[in-house]
Amino acid sequence: MCGVVSIVYSGNIANLGNEAALLLKKLEYRGYDSTGGAFIKEDSSVVLRKKVGAPSRVIEELEITKQSGFKFIGQVRWATYGAVTDINAQPHEVNCLLHMVGAHNGNVSNTDKLKEFLSDNGHQVVSDNDGEMVVHLVEHFYHGLTLKCKAETNEQKIALMIKAIRKAQKMIEGSYAACVTLPEIPGVFAIKAGSSLYAGKGSDSAGNFIVVSSDLTSVLSKTRFLIPLLEGDGIYFDNENYKVFSLSEDKEWVPKLSRSRLNIADIQLQPKFHFFMEQEIFSSPRNIDTLMLYYFNDESEIELHAVFEEYKDEAREVLYALLALYDVYDRKELKAEFEKIRKIKVFKEIAEKTKNLTADPRHFAFKSEETALLEELLGINDKYFGELWLIDSMLLWKKKRMIIKYRDRLVENLRTCASKGGRVFVVASGTSYHAALTGSYFFNNMTDISIIPANPGAFRSGFMNSLNENDLVIGVSQSGETKDLVDIFNDIKKDSKGVQLVTVVNNENSTLPQEKSDYYLPIMCGSEIAVAATKSFISQIALFYILASLIRNKEDEVQNDMRKIRYFMDFTLKNVDIPISDTALRLFMKPSLHILGTSLTGLAKEGALKIREVVLNHTEGYDAAEFKHGPNTILGKNTIYSLTDMEALLGNVIEIFENFIESGFLTGSAKPQTIRNYLNMAKNLKFRKFDERSAEKTPHFKKDEAELMKKVISVFEEKTNIENFFSNYPLVFVCPPDERDKRITISQIHTHKIRGADIVLVCEDDDDLRKATGKPASAHKYWSKVIELPRTGDKNIFVFQAAVALQMLALKMSVAKMKYLNRSHIENHGVHPDVPKNVSKSITVD
């Protein structure tokens, strides 16, 4: 995965470089191997800057912010074709047949064949990068067309470029998005051929612009007005005008702009946070509020909702009219269209019946998913508050009505499935699979219904062929596009066994909920910018908690429990910073560790995944009692060493060198250079015993120095003895407030700490657990830490506070390791809380 971006203004602007820098940094999570930008001025000159390294590291070195121009094409690279070198960085500027600039995002799978074709046709291909093949290919076909047709005016050049792009597309195999331009024309061409690409139109202090990007958030950072693009579309745009064209057919059109519904608060880093991962962890308690808002009825809404039910068909018409405003770009037209809504007869009737229920504008914030549009309308005229409050309430009612309907349907389906002897499968991948494992813990504790978590591979190999009409399959996916899960649902539907398919999803407009499921339930946690999933995991397990609790409890009881969960999560985040920070500083350079959850396998696996993702340290998640069945062999002497262990060894060698240079050993003829020679020989001897006779035969050794050499070697062997560098292996135990789990945890801690484990214990306040972590009598290097969480006395609620504690531990370990590696000037280490190497995530919620 890479990222490509382009923006066009009407004329040269001095601060184009600042805009470019901001856009490139928005894309950093998509690629950190190299960064580049092409700045094009009105005189058709091109300034190309590119280099190995992530935007945050090389933008200043490349002097990106000092550049000017009127159009910009930029790229961040996650290397696939071609090594991580400056020459393989993008954009590419070509001038074999004519001058062209471009960059791409994605993979061109027939790169080798294209390179051969281009070389045979007179192109000088200078890199192994597939993006260069795309640019050369467009150059090749455009040049061929100009030999047959006139290309004097901009209109003619644009028409021929569209034809050239279509011809190039026919030769390219793979999935990609690209931006390419001729320096002399006023605009840029962008291609959406299997990879994400978004476009938007807006205005800022420099004037009107149009921007395209692989990443939706970078477009929304500039404008909320989007140009619809579908798979197989291309677009030509300047600062003001645009047209979309088909990549495969001779079709062109100008789609209407539409407003994005995405909440800007979710995609902008707030000042009090340093990383998106941190911001998203701390947003989890608010996401519990969102679930409570939509999944439960509120007594204060009864009277209001009764009116909406009375006018339910008419109310929908009003809401559809409001949603049509997303297609209105002009502010004056927006006001005129809303005035029409205000005059709708039935809307006036609803307003009259609910006028005594209107909220106080001084203490009110919009709550529906259309908040951004409502706030924009309120900004036009604050006298609209009453009507906008009413519409906000209607939007909530409509959404809540659907969610509660499907919530109750799933609860009933679960009961029916159990009563008929059916099985409930929860199929998911990655973090969502760990949420499914945690959901099974809730169902086991709170109901008499068992759910069977499985990842798609395990489900296909273990259960697919035994499905029957009494079974229920629930798919869990943040994006709703998880291909392995889509394939499972496709195969189930194809066999027509009557199995009900349900989805738990964040992106409601995705494939799984819209095309593959009988119905779905949304977790509604908003976008996640950080690659590592945090808040979506919390919202997923919260929904499983709600479903399990509703099997036996009344709504108000479940609501009370959810309020407790929210409170304890928030309290945990505010009060465990110091012990988590202390633990992170002890563990961040440990090359391997295990998280052991007593009865909490899903939580242990998720905590381990977070550390693997953002710290890049090997981490495994196990059930606590399972660790003794094999994995415990890693305890005691082993060959796992960290950078800090090697640093200590090197420090000892340096200490020997310095001590002997300055010590009393330097008498007579034993000069500093002689000691250096001895040390070099000691290194070459590789810790073998010193042979006095061979030393005497060596020309540069004198007889009276032989004894000194033996002392040097003796100290060297002592200081570099490998026995001194074995260290204890860290185990992180997670123990819920349950007597049986407590006994198991204490037993396992005692078993493993005497065999070479350091112990970290995440638990509620408990004297017996704390005492169990005490230092064994025989231990010399033992270390332990108790991360004490607020006392709940409830093993289910404990899960939520332990989850955010583990997420914070991963975050702090990542930051500590990133800073350490940066200080050590280690290039391309890939440790970052938001954009770790080798993993990726695109924003799919809109």
Q: How far apart are CA 507 and CA 277, in angstroms?
A: 19
Cβ neighbour number for residue 397 with a 10 Å cutoff: 20
pLDDT band at 678 (very low <50, low <70, confident <90, very high): low
Q: How far apart are CA 700 and CA 698, in angstroms?
A: 6
Contact assessment for residue 176 and residue 107, using Cβ atoms and an 8 Å cutoff: yes
What are the residues facing 203 on neighbouring strands?
Answer: 208
174-181 and 188-193: which strand pairing?
A: antiparallel
Structure confidence by residue, pLDDT tens digits, 128-165:
899 999 999 999 999 999 999 888 899 999 999 999 99
Going edge to edge, which strands form the sheet with 618-623?
Answer: 618-623, 592-597, 729-734, 757-764, 784-789
Secondary-structure breakdown of the chain: helix, strand, coil percentages, each rounded to the nearest 5: 50, 20, 30
Mean pLDDT, residues 588-609: 96
Contact assessment for residue 484 and residue 457, using Cβ atoms and an 8 Å cutoff: yes
Mean pLDDT, residues 389-414: 96
DSSP letter, residue 128: S
Distance separating the N- and C-terminal Cα atoms of the chain: 20
**Distances from the Cα of 268 to the Cα of 555, 582, 750, angstroms:** 35, 29, 46
H runs (alpha helix) in 531-642: 535-550, 555-575, 577-587, 601-615
Q: How far apart are CA 607 and CA 434, in angstroms?
A: 9
Query: What one-letter code names the amino acid at 782?
Result: Y
The yes-or-no verdict on residue 475 having pLDDT over 50 is yes
Q: How far apart are CA 450 and CA 338, in angstroms?
A: 51
Cβ neighbour number for residue 722 with a 10 Å cutoff: 11
Vertex 289, ends 288 and 292: CA angle to 5°?
90
Name 567's Cβ contacts closer than 8 Å, sequence gap at least 6.
none
The yes-or-no verdict on residue 686 having pLDDT over 60 is no
Instruction: Classify 724 as helix, strand or coil.
Output: helix
Instruction: Find the helix or strand (DSSP H, E) in which 520 lies.
Output: strand 519-522
Q: How far apart are CA 73 and CA 754, in angstroms?
A: 60
Exposure string of 416-436, with b = 16+ CB inside 10 Å and e = fewer, is ebbeeebbbbbbbbbbbbbbb
The yes-or-no verdict on residue 118 having pLDDT over 60 is yes
Chain-wide mean pLDDT for the chain? 89
Instruction: Find the helix or strand (DSSP H, E) in which 787 lies.
Output: strand 784-789
Contact assessment for residue 773 and residue 786, using Cβ atoms and an 8 Å cutoff: yes
pLDDT band at 234 (very low <50, low <70, confident <90, very high): very high
Structure confidence by residue, pLDDT tens digits, 322-346:
988 988 888 899 999 999 999 999 9
Q: Single out the residue of 445, 474, 617, 425 nearest to residue 607, CA to CA.
A: 617
Per-residue model confidence (pLDDT) at position 675: 52
Going edge to edge, which strands form the sheet with 100-108?
Answer: 92-94, 100-108, 174-181, 188-193, 233-237, 242-246, 252-253
Higher pLDDT, 482 or 565: 565
Q: How far apart are CA 71 and CA 78, in angstroms?
A: 24
Q: How far apart are CA 475 and CA 507, in angstroms?
A: 13
**Distances from the Cα of 777 to the Cα of 282, 386, 750, 754, angstroms:** 41, 72, 12, 9
For the chain, the maximum distance between any two Cα atoms, rounded to a whole number of angstroms, is 112
Q: How far apart are CA 533 and CA 724, in angstroms?
A: 39
Mean pLDDT, residues 74-102: 91
The pair of three-digit structure tokens given for residue 335, joined into one six-digit string: 């006001």
Q: Single out the residue of 290, 218, 346 nearest to residue 566, CA to CA.
A: 290
Q: How far apart are CA 154 and CA 158, in angstroms?
A: 6
Contact assessment for residue 460 and residue 429, using Cβ atoms and an 8 Å cutoff: no
Per-residue model confidence (pLDDT) at position 28: 84
The yes-or-no verdict on residue 719 having pLDDT over 80 is no
Q: How far apart are CA 623 and CA 22, in angstroms?
A: 44
The yes-or-no verdict on residue 393 having pLDDT over 80 is yes
Task: Work out the angle between the directed axes of helices 284-295 and 535-550 (0-180°, nearest 10).
Answer: 40
Mean pLDDT, residues 727-731: 91
Per-residue model confidence (pLDDT) at position 185: 96
Q: How far apart are CA 602 and CA 623, in angstroms?
A: 9
Q: How far apart are CA 141 and CA 120, in angstroms?
A: 14
Per-residue model confidence (pLDDT) at position 641: 67
Please state which of the ranges 91-100, 567-576, 786-795, 822-831 shows the lowest mean pLDDT.
822-831
Backbone angles phi, psi at 291, to 5 degrees: -60, -40
Per-residue model confidence (pLDDT) at position 670: 46
Question: Number of C-alpha atoms within 13 angstroms, CB side, residue 723?
Answer: 3
Instruction: Classify 272 as helix, strand or coil.
Output: coil
The yes-or-no verdict on residue 664 having pLDDT over 60 is no
Structure confidence by residue, pLDDT tens digits, 188-223:
999 999 888 999 999 999 999 999 998 888 898 899
| pTM for this predicted structure | 0.78
Percent of the chain whose pLDDT exceeds 90: 69
Structure confidence by residue, pLDDT tens digits, 610-653:
999 999 999 999 999 999 999 999 998 776 766 666 666 666 66
- Which segments of 20-147 are extended strands (E)? 34-40, 46-52, 69-77, 92-94, 100-108
Q: Single out the residue of 842, 839, 834 nearest to residue 275, CA to CA.
A: 834
Higher pLDDT, 828 or 36: 36
Percent of the chain whose pLDDT exceeds 70: 88
Q: How far apart are CA 139 and CA 135, in angstroms?
A: 6
pLDDT band at 30 (very low <50, low <70, confident <90, very high): confident
Please state which of the ranges 362-376, 519-533, 590-604, 720-734 shows the lowest mean pLDDT.
720-734
**Distances from the Cα of 612 to the Cα of 78, 201, 594, 603, 702, angstroms:** 19, 39, 11, 14, 55
Per-residue model confidence (pLDDT) at position 145: 95
Instruction: Find the helix or strand (DSSP H, E) in which 716 lies.
Output: helix 706-719
Q: How far apart are CA 102 and CA 178, in angstroms?
A: 7
Instruction: Classify 522 as helix, strand or coil.
Output: strand
DSSP letter, residue 705: G
> 153: phi > 0 → left, psi -120 to 50 → alpha, else beta; which?
beta
The yes-or-no verdict on residue 388 having pLDDT over 80 is yes
Contact assessment for residue 432 and residue 540, using Cβ atoms and an 8 Å cutoff: yes
